[in-house]
Every structure is written in structure tokens, then in C-alpha cells.
Amino acid sequence: MAKDLALSAEKNINASRKILESIYRLSKKHQTRAFLVGGPVRDLCRSKPKNLRSIQDLDIAVENHHAEIGQELAQKLRARIIRYAQFMTLTLHLPDQTHLDIAQTRKETYARPAILPKVEPAAINEDLYRRDFTINAMAMEITKNRPYLMLDPFFGQRDLKQKLIRVLHKKSFIDDPTRIFRSVRFATRFNFEIEKQTRSLLKTAVKNNYLRLLSAERVLYELQMIMPEPKSKAILKKLQKSGIIKNLYGTNLPIKFFSEHGLLPAEKKLTHFFAYLPYAKWLKYPLKKEIAQSAQAIQQFAEPRRKLAKANKPSHVYKTLKLMPGPALEILSQIEPKPIKNKIKLYLGKYSKVKIFTTGKTLQSLGFAPGKNFSQILQTLLYSKLDGKIKNKNDEKKYLKNIRT
């Protein structure tokens, strides 16, 4: 296992180096400066200098010709391009499922708080100044002779050493309140502290309801970024402690939520999160239909739970759960008390897979008149098979013969 991980790491290192070499050559061709920026630089500064595993998803900024460089690099790497013309950015999706961003260095202006900014071309220092935190406002110029030249105008390396999350200016959380989520996420992920003045600015922004100015899409994106984090439970606890959850949704998550959260895989955590919040508060969120329906089903599980507690036959369990979304049942099978979760697991693993041989065509061939009774007959056969009264095709034929005569 360790050998496989080492080989995978080496492969990622080599791939990243080759991409940087290609960008170096393209930037020379187009006579522009190019930089590795943001999170990859932060992660390189936190790890060993030769460890490029953390930057397989690269973030590149160039001062000119970003579209041409992106297009030529995509052709070389056989990557699929997604363009964001409004933000002068390209994302290249590589065949190995990694991606890299190529952006024009730019500055941002905000017409009012919490809306997406207007961007225009700018030099690298202005590009770094528009970023969220000092630890993400560093760059490595890859158009100079190696070793790459480090740009750190806001002392991000100092804050990395001191384990601090610090904004770059006093309006940071007002211009973009999503940074409130990110400050807590990064602080928890890296086991850092939020710097004293930054913490004060965060509290003020929350108190003044800047979070409520954000679109549902942007809040949802930040929540989606939290759920796969290894420390997602700790992040959500800190968001609640900071008053962020209550500010957005008018209520806090109960203690029970946090004990359940840790039992679930990352892909189920967002559904579980919304199941504990008032439906009216996330009605306008652009959730996938499966997530919205499952969250509602979990919220409305009181009556099915009562029926399951009394269910003493497989058919009773089946009747109770057959209309519930599968993802909701998968979550409930992990978080419900043992007697209930066991019945849900039986339904998912066994009862829902039981099939009968008889079909509508079978009934017609036996002389049954088409009508509503078809579904009733098929349902009775299924329930009888679930309860062990009918075991095979011959038993089904005998049952049909008896009710036909």
C-alpha cells in the first residue's frame, strides 16, 4: 500500500512539473509573466519543497494572453476547456480528472456588498491583493530562472509560520461574505487561529447580516466545499458557535445533528444538513432534486418511524418504506436507533430486491380482465412472497389458480 502511494505521489509530481514547464515555454512565446498562485503556493510552503502532490490541481495567473495560453495548453494536454469570460478565467479539465485554472491577473471592484465583482486586468500585486487571506495571496513566478521567484507582498509565509488566518483589508468580509465560511474552513483544516482583528471583522459582518445578502447559489457552494472536509463536523460546530448558522437559518443545529454527522460519508452530509433546517429557509437553494426530496423525507420521518416500530412482517416494512427516496433511507439506516435502522437495512438490502414472476401479461394470458385489480393482485403476490407465504413460480401459479376459480 505504501509503495502504491509513493508511486502515485511521484506520478503527480512529474505531471505537475511537466505542466509548469509547458506554461513556462508558452509564457515565453507570448512574452508575458506567468505565476503559480493561491492555494498551491500555500500548500507548497507548508510542505517539503519537492512535494508537489498538493498542487496537482494548479492555479495559474498570467499578465497577458491567458486565453491563448489556455487554448494551446489544452490542446497539448488534451484537456476540455470551460471559459468564464466575465472573470477572464479558463478551467482546463484533464483526462486524469485533475484540473487547472488559468486566469488573467486582475483587480476587482464591488458595486455593493456580497455581489460578484467587476474585474479588469491588473498587475500581479493587485491580483494578489484581491484574494481572501494572506496565506492565499502568494505567488511563484514561473517565467524566471529556477528556482521560482516567490512573491509574498502581504507576509503570507509569516502567517503560515504563526498559524494565522488574516484578511488583507477591513472590507474583506463585506465585499465578499463567503470569506466568512472560508476563514472557518481553512482555520479548522490547518488547525490555525483566526487572527484577532480578522475575528473582530468577521463578528461584525455576521452581526450586520452581510451573510443574508449572498445569493443562495453562493451559500450552497460554500456548504458543498465544507462537507468533504475531513474535519467537516468541527467546521460546522465553529460556524454555529460564531452565530453563522443561526444568522442564515434562524435556528441552530441540535446536538444530535453533530453526533449523526460523523457517521455519514461525505456525499450524504449535505442532505443530512438540510434535513435539520426549516424547509422554508432553503426552498430557493438550487439543490439537486434527489437531495431536496431526501432532506424533506428525513424531516417527515416521524410517522414512518412509528409504523416501523410496530412492523412485525417484511411486507409491513416494505409498505412503510417503498415510497421513500433511496438516499434518505441510506442516511436513516446510519443514524436511527438500532431497531429502526435494522429494519431499514433489511429493506435496502433484501426486501426492496424481492421480485415476483407474474406480470400483467401473465394475468391476461390466464383470463383475468384488465383493470385496477391487476395491481392489487400483483401487490398481494409480492407481499405474500416477502412474508414467505409464496416462495417460487409454482406457488404464484397456485395462488392465481385459486383466485381465478
Domains of the chain: 1-162 (3.30.460.10), 164-252 (1.10.110.30), 265-353 (no CATH), 360-404 (no CATH)
- How confident is the model at residue 148, as a pLDDT? 75
Tell me: the pLDDT tens digits for 117-171?
888 999 999 999 999 999 999 999 988 656 678 999 999 999 999 999 999 999 9
For the ranges 34-43, 227-236, 369-378, which has the lowest average pLDDT?
369-378
By percentage, how much of the chain surpasses pLDDT 70?
92
- How confident is the model at residue 372, as a pLDDT? 61
DSSP calls for 346-370: HHHHTGGG---S--HHHHHHTTPPP
- How confident is the model at residue 48, as a pLDDT? 54
Rounded Cα–Cα distance for residues 342 and 395 (Å): 29
To which H or E segment does residue 218 belong?
helix 216-226
Cα–Cα distances in angstroms (integers) from residue 321 to residues 164, 293, 313, in the given order: 49, 14, 13
pTM across the whole model: 0.88
SS3 state of residue 228:
coil
- How confident is the model at residue 377, as a pLDDT? 87
